[in-house]
Structure 1
Amino acid sequence: MNAEATDIFKERLRAARDLRGLSQSQLASNAKLPPSSVSHFEAGTRKPSFENLKRLAVALDVTTDYLLGRADAPNADGTVGRLHRDIHNLSHEDMKLAEDFVGMLLKRASATKKDD
């Protein structure tokens, strides 16, 4: 991470934490990191490992690309990002049901556009 990327990371990390009303200790606990690590990351004195970057992103419900400054949107379309992350928890039967439901919604949206 170069100096500019480090600056972007530390600013976005703090902004995302503040937006969620978390202290550094709370974020550290949620990400299963020592509180001193979050402090160092926000100060720019240390850079996170890839694993720690992923943990922070999950704890803050943002993408790693957002934290690194490679995307301006904090998450992958909010709901879509959560669905993508949580889909693996569904049974095969529920997965099929979800696919059918999304298909139905897409057909309805397509029909609505044709009527406009």
Structure 2
Amino acid sequence: MPTSEPIDIFKERLKAARALRGLNQAELAAKAGLPPASVSHFESGPRKPSFDNLKALATALDVTTDYLLGRADTPEASAATVGRLHRDLGKLTEQDLKLATEFVDLLVKRGIKEGE
């Protein structure tokens, strides 16, 4: 039997992500475009956010919806970042794309050297 119900996981994750980002409920609500009472209800009551509100909260907190829902263990929005990078590739010129590729290569090499 699971130790936490899914709604409990969501409430816990929402509070943890908000604390991680150093936001109070009103600040998170403003960032997500929601009424402050909504964030309070999501964190303390049985109320669940709509899909659109879930996405808004995840975006405002820079975490994945999977993290908020308990489907991922880390709050990093790597999937969102990858999606954004992929989406914006078409906006780059060929020269900018080459520069971006070289920069990513440099970061990867730096990460490998730091891990040695």
TM-score, length basis structure 1: 0.74
CA-to-partner distance for each residue in 1:5-37, whole Å, 9 max, x for gaps?
A: 100000010011112211100000000000010
State the distance in 2 between where 1:52 and 1:39 align: 13
Q: Which runs of 5+ in 2 are unaligned?
A: none
For the residue of structure 1 that corresponds to 2:5, the secondary structure is: helix
Residues 7 and 44 in structure 1, CA contact (< 8 A), matched pair in contact too: no
Instruction: State the identity %.
Output: 60
Amino acid corresponding to residue 82 of structure 1 in structure 2: T
* Structure 1 position 92, deviation (Å): 2.0
Q: Which runs of 5+ in 1 are unaligned?
A: none
Could you say if the C-alpha distance between residues 42 and 98 of structure 1 is closer, same or farther in structure 2, counting changes exceeding 3 Å?
same
CA-to-partner distance for each residue in 1:28-69, whole Å, 9 max, x for gaps?
A: 000000001000000132100111000000111100000000
Shifted more, 89-98 versus 17-26: the winner is: 89-98
When the two chains are superposed, the root-mean-square deviation of aligned CA atoms in Å is: 2.8
* Structure 1 position 87, deviation (Å): 5.5
- Which residue in 1 is equivalent to 2:100? 98
Could you say if the C-alpha distance between residues 62 and 92 of structure 1 is closer, same or farther in structure 2, counting changes exceeding 3 Å?
same
For the residue of structure 2 that corresponds to 1:48, the secondary structure is: coil
CA-to-partner distance for each residue in 1:60-113, whole Å, 9 max, x for gaps?
A: 110000000000011244xx753543564563213343134435766x58xx8x
Could you say if the C-alpha distance between residues 85 and 44 of structure 1 is closer, same or farther in structure 2, counting changes exceeding 3 Å?
farther
